[in-house]
Structure 1
Amino acid sequence: MLFFKKPKITLAELIPDNYVDIHSHLLPGIDDGATDENHSLLLVNRLRELGFSQFITTPHVLPGVYNNTTEDIKDKEKLIASFYKDQGVLNPFSAAAEYLMDNVFLDRLATDPLLTLKDNHVLVEMSYINPPLQLKEIIFEIQMQGYKPVLAHPERYLFYHKAFDEYQKLKKAGCLFQLNLLSVTGYYGKAVLEIAKKLLDKNLIDFTGSDTHHERHIEFYKQSVRLKETEMIAFKNALQKNALFKLK
């Protein structure tokens, strides 16, 4: 008797039509993402072939490394919109930011309006080395200012991998979670994959994002998704929830 293995599903096959990406680095020359306008256009066209329709692109605001201000980001957004218009391409962008939560961010939060994904949702991240000492205070202040914190790629913070209850605490504190799409292929390694699976299994993931910086990220969409049935259901649900951020 012959037994046939169930064909593996690639990440590209799971991207829904008109997918809204809420985490990318497609504004050119502003962080470690797209290097120039043509590179930005190349990345966008490649992603559109996969089903992406709109991009809320989120350059880093990382003091000492990428000292981007709201004005810097909005100016770059205008320039790229003009470039896309000249190319005869409908501009698919809205610019927000990916804010590093630290002391500087607390000061910014108290004095300047933040760039949001849509409405009051703001994308935040932590250092990959350790969480900020004042994390609870920051999350509280974000909400006191009327924002909803969306934590970028929680599965990539290795310091929480052996302290999974910290994820539960963050959720209870009001954090929403955005999973990186490539995490379910093993792109970031086995440890990140296993935590991504567990977060999905526990229904802790709210949204997804590509976190695209370069072509190598896009190439990995050809890889198989390494999820069990229940994890796959949660992943598909999270993909669909990104419709909340659809641009006008």
Structure 2
Amino acid sequence: MQAIHKPKAFFPAFYSFRQQIMFGNLFTPRYATSSLFPDGMDMHTHILWGVDDGAACLEESLGIIRRLKAMGLKGAYCTPHIMARYPDNTPDFLRRRFDQLLADTREEQFQLRLAAEYMLDNQFNEQLRRYTPLTYDGIHLLVELPQYYLPGAWKDMISSVRDRGYIPVLAHPERYGRLLQQEDFLQLARQEGVKYQGNVGSLKGFYGKSAAALAQTFRTRQLYEWWGTDSHNIAMAKRMPLKN
């Protein structure tokens, strides 16, 4: 796994951040997408089929895996959603499904590991209370926010991750443009040592121009700890560029 680094400083002020968005993407170097993954591991995928809005069947899982191999990757973390929308997705259930996927994909010679993407919703604290969470390495816990608003108890949720001895890793922060303008969010992120996982597709505009600009700013400032494709299906995986 990629080396763990100390949290990096965030944007000094929003006005300078806006300038980065406006002018930071004029000259963008191109190089192999695989170079974003120095240890060869995609840190965010929905390869585990039939458990969320990701791969629907084994063939789709295999298709995603083969595309990631074509990108030069050697493995990926399966990070299925754990959220109120998918009440069956307990760690035990996902481990059983993952073990079956390992058996079914052994011939691909592609390293698969299991973590999860936790939504900060009204079930989050209950999930942490009842189950040992599915983390990257026993410490780093991948979390996501609702797309357009901060849940009322979001501060307590972030703090509860640290209180339980885990480090929150915020998935695709570039997709939360308006939220990143809120100083209380940025302050808590710094205080709690939140780390960031970027989506490769954001760099190519999969989620709009604003997300692309934010992703490039995060990348330029070396704020991303890890990268992921966030692949949900074969079509999405095939859109992933071999160069960025």
Give the TM-score of the pair, scaled to structure 2. 0.80
- Residue 33, structure 1, aligned to residue 54, structure 2: yes
* Aligned counterpart, 2:227: 208
Q: Distance in 1 between matches of 2:28 and 2:81?
A: 38
SS, match of residue 23 in structure 1: strand
SS, match of residue 199 in structure 1: helix
SS, match of residue 74 in structure 2: strand
* Aligned counterpart, 2:169: 150
Offset at 1:9? 2.5
* Aligned counterpart, 2:70: 49
Residues 60 and 234, structure 2, Cα contact 8 Å, conserved in 1: no
TM-aligned CA distance change 1:164 to 1:51, over 3 Å: farther
* Aligned counterpart, 2:119: 100
SS, match of residue 192 in structure 1: helix
Q: Distance in 2 between matches of 1:139 and 1:214?
A: 29
**152-161 or 187-196, which deviates more:** 152-161
TM-aligned CA distance change 1:219 to 1:38, over 3 Å: closer
TM-aligned CA distance change 1:207 to 1:168, over 3 Å: farther
Offset at 1:142? 0.7
Q: In the comparison of the two structures, how many residue pairs are matched?
A: 218
**62-71 or 138-147, which deviates more:** 62-71
Offset at 1:102? 2.0
Offset at 1:177? 0.6
Q: Distance in 1 between matches of 2:222 and 2:39?
A: 23
Please show how residues 1-248 of structure 1 align to structure 2 within 5 Å: 9=30, 12=33, 14-15=35-36, 19-65=40-86, 67-85=88-106, 88-90=107-109, 92-163=111-182, 166-167=185-186, 169-222=188-241, 225=244
Q: Distance in 2 between matches of 1:7 and 1:114?
A: 38
Offset at 1:136? 1.5
Q: Distance in 2 between matches of 1:62 and 1:9?
A: 36
Q: Distance in 1 between matches of 2:100 and 2:220?
A: 42
Query: 2:205 is matched by which residue type in structure 1?
Result: G
Q: Name stretches of at least 5 consecutive residues in structure 1 with no aligned partner.
A: 1-5, 226-248
Offset at 1:16? 5.1
Q: Distance in 1 between matches of 2:178 and 2:192?
A: 18
Q: Distance in 1 between matches of 2:54 and 2:85?
A: 17
Give the TM-score of the pair, scaled to structure 1. 0.79
**106-115 or 158-167, which deviates more:** 158-167
TM-aligned CA distance change 1:172 to 1:205, over 3 Å: farther
Residues 177 and 204, structure 1, Cα contact 8 Å, conserved in 2: yes
Offset at 1:201? 3.3
**17-26 or 133-142, which deviates more:** 17-26
Q: Distance in 1 between matches of 2:142 and 2:175?
A: 15
Q: CA RMSD in A?
A: 2.4
Residues 17 and 52, structure 1, Cα contact 8 Å, conserved in 2: no
TM-aligned CA distance change 1:193 to 1:167, over 3 Å: farther
Residues 179 and 205, structure 1, Cα contact 8 Å, conserved in 2: yes
What whole-Å deviation, never above 9, does each CA across 1:210-246 have from its counterpart, x for those lacking one?
1011223233333763xxxxxxxxxxxxxxxxxxxxx
Q: Distance in 2 between matches of 1:151 and 1:119?
A: 16
Offset at 1:18? 5.2
Residues 10 and 222, structure 1, Cα contact 8 Å, conserved in 2: no
Query: 1:49 is matched by which residue type in structure 2?
Result: A
